[in-house]
Structure 1
């Protein structure tokens, strides 16, 4: 139901299902547009601006560096300020999307905008998930969380459809980013509608805020408490997550570019392939959740990591459409599942510090994502051949799988 708050023209939404759909919309904006619309529009951006693959790779990596920074910021946001920080992060995401409509921007501004967009994505992903999921009751949390996280796949699909539609009208990336930004504006009203029920209390306002030094001391203490007795296990899982971020990002950044290279006779082949990624990301996550209930999250994570590794090798075994479409389907079907399984596993290792552990894991993933495009473009060479990048990505995912196996053994040793 919805009720009107005093002195407010915007109703307060308390219905859990509606909140889950607002969370879906939030992830579609801050992740689907803020991060992955770049992938959908990259071939047109490179063509219109005459960008090299190296510059495209750096633009991708600078966004992932921003994601790292945003994740770090989110870890230090006090719980009582979660919603306000989420609003600011979402606003920043929408503004940076709209800014790419400005014509003839120097490349330096592109780097700054993509860095800020990454920061907004990191804040929106962590704080959006934290704030939205805390509104779910225990008995509905599993189902409604699936709806919320489907927003990543919805955003990817929307980025492909939007790009396809506007390119078919002979418009280019600037118009695409403008429409994406405008279609994101209603999210601000919806997030305002799920604001906390009460304002910050006078007692909270009167509290003296800790200094930067004290904040750092508090963080060190919390980190020690979160890791105590399980440092090795958490380190293994975090390192595997670095490699997971490194492994998937080659396809997640350059798949449409590869399609344009290998399928020149198919109109908008890159966008159709990117749409496949989004559709499989939307539909697969509930399946992995059901599988995890049967065989456990760690075994499910191992299976997903192996499947994603095989997906990176498929374009090397089968050139052309078959390899690319299979890679797209496997990428979409696995990467959201890997994220959700890893975050669930690590937060359950010490529930009292779940936000801190999720933040650490997200930082690890961001490191892998930052390094991935740089390694890929370095290996691509002057001919822009992505085969070596896919090979290294697949090997990285196999190493990630080995670390997950070692992580599982470490848990058995601790429990035994």
Structure 2
């Protein structure tokens, strides 16, 4: 009876569309909430906690340091342990989201929570992508992987709507984070339902070998060598361009609602409306770029997105009012998820046998750019909080990244 009850309570999900949708939900939680809900709630956080722009920038950057560490951790996760690590760090992401409801926490505790949230986002984003994509048949992979990555845009949209709704009701960031965490709990059950049936892992008579830290290091070193052997220049160029992609988009992705609050003072909740625009365009964009990539290839699509995003960074400089900010929001949403998915696809395809490791390596590069971006932006903003210089530097970084992509394309063609 107990066995029958467990089988009914915990069904196994194997349908590919369902797995892709669960992947979407996972991305919405670990990225949309774990990372980008901070952007939506930042103006309220700054008011309620009397934070300066500099402290807000450091809170953003500490999260990106965590994302960097998370990407590093993901590189050490063997393929056979992908689901287990994904489950663990998704739980951490949900818990750290709900912890921000605790009142009167010191700034140091905030730093620790945002660091852990960043680590969880980095690990869960990479491993969920690897797990979901490897679970899809080759014939449906391109379409359904776009569904999975659309979760980032869905999460951003949800963060904007949730924040807007609860602020209108008179609540503040603490309740917003609690509700976000509670709405994430069903994901844990769904992830359990797609747990792979691996007899090697499940059979206690054949446990996985326990490796020492030194043996793990040697194993990782060997795997890294095998992953990049013969592809060093291509990986280096693509990773360097990804550093600049992370640096380029993060100024808007962190401070866009703050810029809207500064400039559009006559529009109530202008920052949240603009952040919702980012989420809607991010949700709709990935299937579009996936279809384009099937026609012209990932590298050409990625180069086009890089040019478009650089243009978007310039719009708030050229147009001081709503046109510049809404244009930036629409282009940011259109481009950044596509740039993530295209880059991860390109680097994974260099050596698919080491997809976790290579995707982790790329995400390390992206996280490095995201860590530096807010610090450079707040340094350039100065006491008056003008973000135009930061936007200009972001655009220049993206153009340099485009040059690196052109070199990567030439290198890849030569190698082929």
State the 1:167 CA deviation: 0.5
For 1:356 and 1:363, the matched residues in 2 are separated by 10
- Structure 1 residues 7 and 287: CA distance shift in structure 2, 3 A: closer
Structure 1, unpaired ranges of 5+: none
**Alignment root-mean-square deviation, CA:** 1.5
Query: Are residues 377 and 197 of structure 1, via their aligned partners in 2, closer, same or farther at CA, if it must alter by over 3 Å?
Result: same
2:98 maps to 98
What is the alpha-carbon distance in structure 1 between the residues aligned to residue 259 and residue 317 of structure 2? 12
Q: CA deviation at 1:331?
A: 0.3
Q: Is the 8 A contact 1:146 1:286 kept in 2?
A: yes
Q: Secondary structure, in 3 states, of the residue corresponding to 2:210?
A: coil
Which residue in the other structure is 2:143 paired with?
143
SS at match of 1:209: coil
1:236-264 deviation per Cα after TM superposition (whole angstroms, max 9, x unaligned): 11000000000000000000000000001
Please give the alpha-carbon distance, in whole angstroms, between the structure 2 residues aligned to 1:337 and 1:42: 25
8 Å contact kept, 1:311–1:331: yes
SS in 2 for 1:126: helix
| Counterparts of 1:376 and 1:84, CA distance in 2 | 37
Within-5 A mapping of 1:200-239: 200-202=201-203, 205-239=206-240
Question: Does the 8 Å CA contact 2:224/2:357 hold for their aligned counterparts?
Answer: yes
**Maintained 8 Å contact 1:244/1:368:** yes
**TM-score scaled by length of structure 2:** 0.96
More off after superposition, 334-343 vs 351-360 = 351-360
List aligned pairs for 1:76-225, cutoff 5 A: 76-198=76-198, 200-202=201-203, 205-225=206-226
Contact 1:5 1:11 in 2 (8 A): no
Shift of 1:355: 2.0
Residue 82 of structure 1 deviates from its aligned partner by 1.7
Deviation at 1:182, TM superposition (A): 0.7
Shift in Å, 1:361: 0.4
1:293 — aligned with what? 294
Q: Is the 8 A contact 2:277 2:326 kept in 1?
A: yes
Matched positions, count: 413
Unmatched tracts of structure 2, length 5 or more = none
Aligned-pair distance for 1:8?
6.2
Provide Cα deviations, 1:248-305, integer angstroms capped at 9, x if missing partner.
Answer: 0000000000000000110000000000000000001111111111111111111000
Q: CA deviation at 1:204?
A: 7.3
C-alpha change, 1:172 and 1:6, in structure 2 (3 Å) is closer
SS of the counterpart of 2:300? Answer: helix
Q: Within 2, Cα distance between the matches of 1:207 and 1:45?
A: 45
Residue number in structure 2 paired with 1:261: 262
Aligned to 1:63: 63
